[in-house]
Amino acid sequence: MTALPREILICTIAGLLHDVRHVAVGASSPMPAAGAMLRRALDEDRRKVRLSILGSVEHNFFTNGSTELFDSAGQGRLDAFFLGGGQIDGMANVNLVGVGTYPQMSVRWPGSFGSAYLYFTVPRVILFREEHSPRVLVEKVDFISAPGISAPDTYRPGGPVALLTSKALFSFDSQRPGFRLESVHPGHSLPEIIEATGFTFDHDDTPPLTPEPDAATLSMLRGRVLDELSETYPAFAAQWRRDLAETIPHGASA
C-alpha cells in the first residue's frame, strides 16, 4: 500500500510522540490530532495515552476548555503540544500576530493567545506547519509571539523539539541553538528544502528519507484512526476518504 503525503506526516507525528502520557491538540489541528490518535492506538497494549482535543466531546478530558489546559501544563501534567505560526524562524521563534512593523502591520493574524505560556511549560512542543516556503520559514520573525529560546537563568521546563512541514522533519537544539534536518519526505530533495527555507540549518550531505508507514500501521490509520477523527474533524476526514477513493484502485484493499 502506498501512503498519501498526509499519512506520512501523521505517522511522523506519531513517532515524535513516543512515550508521552498526555498530549493536547488545538481545535484546528486535524493532522496533529490524527497523529496523537495513532500513537494512542499503537501504545494501547502497553500504556494508556491520554489525548485532549480542544473542542472535541469524545476525545477531551477537560471540562473547562483552555483553563484546564493551562493548569495542566503549569502543573507538569502535559507532555506534548503542537504550535504553528504565520512565521517561524531559525531560533524557533513563532509569530502569530502579523506581518510588518508592530503595531502598524500589513497583515494581522488571530494573535498569540496562550502560545508563550505553553511554549515555556510543555516539555515537548512540536512546531507544525504544512506550508514550507520562505514566507513562513523566515530568517527572523516580524513579531515574537512565543520565543524559541530563553536566557540560561530563565526557568523554562518546556520548549520546541521539532519542526514538521510538508517537505521535511527538523529537530531543534536549544543549546546550539538551531534546527537540524532529520529527514526529507518522499518526493522532495535537499536543494528544494534549502531554497524553500528562509533560515540556515544543519544537515547531512545526503539526509535520510522520511519512512513511510508499514501495511499494518497504514491499515490502522485508515480504519480506527480515521473513524475516530471524524467526530471532531468531519470535513478533514471526508476529504481524506475521498482522496483514498481516488487513489486506491477499485477492489483493492485499503
- CA-to-CA distance for 79 and 140, rounded, in angstroms? 28
DSSP tally for the chain: helices H, then strands E: 8, 12
Residue 98, φ and ψ in degrees, nearest 5 = 165, 180
Q: Which amino acid is at 239?
A: Q
Q: Write phi, then psi, for 101 (nearest 5 degrees).
A: -90, 120
Type and span of the H or E element at 133: none
Superfamily of the domain at 5-247: Glutaconate Coenzyme A-transferase (3.40.1080.10)
Q: Which residues of 39-63 are buried (b: 16+ CB within 10 A; e: fewer)?
A: bbbbbeeeeebbbbbbebeebbebe
Per-residue tens of pLDDT for the chain, all 254 residues: 689 999 999 999 999 999 999 999 987 899 999 999 999 999 998 888 999 988 777 787 777 768 888 999 999 999 999 999 999 999 999 999 999 999 999 999 999 989 999 999 999 999 999 999 999 999 999 999 999 999 999 999 999 999 999 999 999 999 999 999 999 999 999 999 999 999 999 999 999 999 999 999 999 999 999 999 999 999 999 999 999 999 876 544 45
At 251 the pLDDT is: 43
The total of other beta-carbon atoms located within 10 Å of residue 23's CB is 28
52 vs 189: CA distance, rounded Å: 35
Q: Answer for the pair 85, 119: CB distance below 8 angstroms, yes or no.
A: no
Continuous segment of H or E residues that includes residue 204: none
Q: Where are the domains of the chain?
A: 5-247
CA distance 187 to 21: 33
Compute the distance between CA of residue 154 and CA of residue 150 in angstroms, rounded to an integer: 6
pLDDT in tens, 37-94: 999 999 998 888 999 988 777 787 777 768 888 999 999 999 999 999 999 999 999 9
- pLDDT for residue 249: 64
**Integer CA distances (angstroms), 183 to 203, 208, 217, 221, in order:** 9, 5, 20, 21
- Cα-flanking dihedrals φ and ψ of residue 103, to 5°? -95, 0
